[in-house]
Amino acid sequence: MRNCSCIFARQRDAEEAILFEGRHTLPFFWLMLIDKEDVERYREKMAGMSPEDIKQEDTSMVLDKLKAIAQAATRRDYVKKHLITCLPLFDDWLYYLQISDFSDMKIYVDLYHIGSSYNNMNDFCDSILKAVGCFDEDIEAWNEDTIAATCGYESRNNNKKPFSDLSKAYRELNNKNIYGGFEKKIHLNKRMSFRKKTWIFVTILLIIAALIIGLLLPVI
């Protein structure tokens, strides 16, 4: 079990490298790697774990790299249709997974921290199946173009080329997430209520009165 939901790789130097973190959300790009058989294997794996096992054992969903990437590629049209603004990010993300070092050709997706917020792991697996079904049946299910909702956050690792260096789309979206709050327009033509005008007027009068008193006191 890890500290957060993540996608990680086992590399040639026997080290584990976390590539992306979902933190408290499940990015829907991750779901595009998964099919129904993957979910059922994960359900069976987690059902056989005791609370003590979960603390010590690997709680990740194990995906065949080639199969998972091919699965996601077939769902590209879903992104193009329902979330066109994130298509460049999806293409970059999928390419990055292709070129990353998965020495055992397995993609590990640790979902336990998200699943633990459900009543039980069965309910969580059912939820994943429902989400995967949206791709297969072409049902719109997401509309957020944020890092958290799409690919997840880039994690620090020893890869020679970070995802943020490879993907212009990721950098632009990251800047939007960080600075988006400063881009909200102020409506200068919005009318102020009479009560608010009165409160501001009284406040100004009190400030002026305080300044006058402050100037007159030394004279007195």
Helices assigned H by DSSP within 48-193: 51-56, 65-74, 76-82, 87-99, 112-115, 121-137, 163-166, 168-179
Residue-averaged pLDDT of the chain: 83
Residues paired with 7 in a beta bridge: 20, 109
Domains of the chain: total: 1
> What is the model's pLDDT at position 156?
77
CA 54 – CA 115 distance, rounded (Å)? 12
Residue 211 lies in a domain: no
Residue 220 lies in a domain: no
Residue 60 lies in a domain: yes
Residue 40 lies in a domain: yes
pLDDT(113) > 70: yes
Closest-CA residue to 169 (of 187, 145, 190, 188): 145
Most confidently modeled range among 2-11, 32-41, 153-162: 32-41
Judge whether 170 and 179 are in contact, CB under 8 Å.
no
40 membership: H or E segment, kind and range: helix 36-47
Residue 110 lies in a domain: yes
**Whole domain around residue 67: which residue ranges?**
5-183
Q: What angle do CA 191, 201, 203 make, to 5 degrees?
A: 125
Residue 29 lies in a domain: yes
Which band of pLDDT confidence, cut at 50, 70 and 90, is reported for residue 180? Answer: low
Most confidently modeled range among 88-97, 169-178, 207-216: 88-97
Residue 193 lies in a domain: no
pLDDT(115) > 60: yes
Judge whether 73 and 92 are in contact, CB under 8 Å.
no
Pick the more confident residue, 188 or 153.
153
Residue 215 lies in a domain: no
Judge whether 71 and 18 are in contact, CB under 8 Å.
no
